[in-house]
Structure 1
Amino acid sequence: MTVLIVVIYAAFSIAALLTLWRIIIGPSILDRAVASDVLLTLVMCALGADMVIHHHTRTLPVLLIIAAVGVFGSIAIARFVARKDGAR
């Protein structure tokens, strides 16, 4: 069981580092926006895995807040890019 937990946390850590790398070097704002959505999803998955591993639901409100921030952030970026493209 502990080996599986280490593998899960290692996979989430590697994915988060690769996502941060895309946020840093992303050539366009859309690359950075998608990478930030992926990072929020990774955080949500890590919190969900922690809830399953430790048998608790204390972080459920945090998951809901992160999900709302992700949705509203994606909508805001999509509207910003649509306005920017429409001005050409």
Structure 2
Amino acid sequence: MDVLELAGWISLVLLAIGALGALYRIVFGPALLDRAIAVDVLLIALSSGLTVWMALHESLHFIMLVVVASLIGFISSTTLARFTVEGAQANQTEPEPKQRPMGDGGR
């Protein structure tokens, strides 16, 4: 086992730990936004793990799956960011216009 193969297996283990952390956040996340971000992290861990696996085995069998997972992650992240910003702007209350005092003579 050479150094590159050892580094590949270590990175696969660390990516699996990250994926387990994302799964925990998906199940027990306190908010919907936390769960959505965890799904994105899980997709990143999946595509990175498949890329390392392909490098270790010197094959390109899963390249389309990596591309599709990356596209789904990108599109879902940008859509989530757009709706989060629009929702935050819609939930902001506009300040009420200040009323003039009653005794100012109507000026």
Report the TM-score when normalising by structure 2.
0.70
Displacement of 1:6 in angstroms is 4.9
Aligned to 1:35: 38
Aligned to 2:98: none
Q: What are the superposed Cα offsets for residues 13-41 of structure 1, whole Å, 9 maximum, x if unpaired?
A: 22211111011222222222221111111
The alignment status of 1:68 with 2:80, answered yes or no, reads: no
1:1-88 paired onto structure 2 within 5 Å: 1=1, 4=6, 6-88=9-91
Report the TM-score when normalising by structure 1.
0.83
Unaligned 5+ residue runs, structure 2? Answer: 92-107
My pick for the range that moved more, 48-57 or 7-16, is: 7-16
SS of the residue corresponding to residue 12 of structure 1 reads helix
CA RMSD of aligned residues (A): 2.0
Q: Which has the larger radius of gyration?
A: 2
Distance in 1 (alpha carbons) for counterparts of 2:74 and 2:14 = 24
Give the count of matched residue pairs.
88
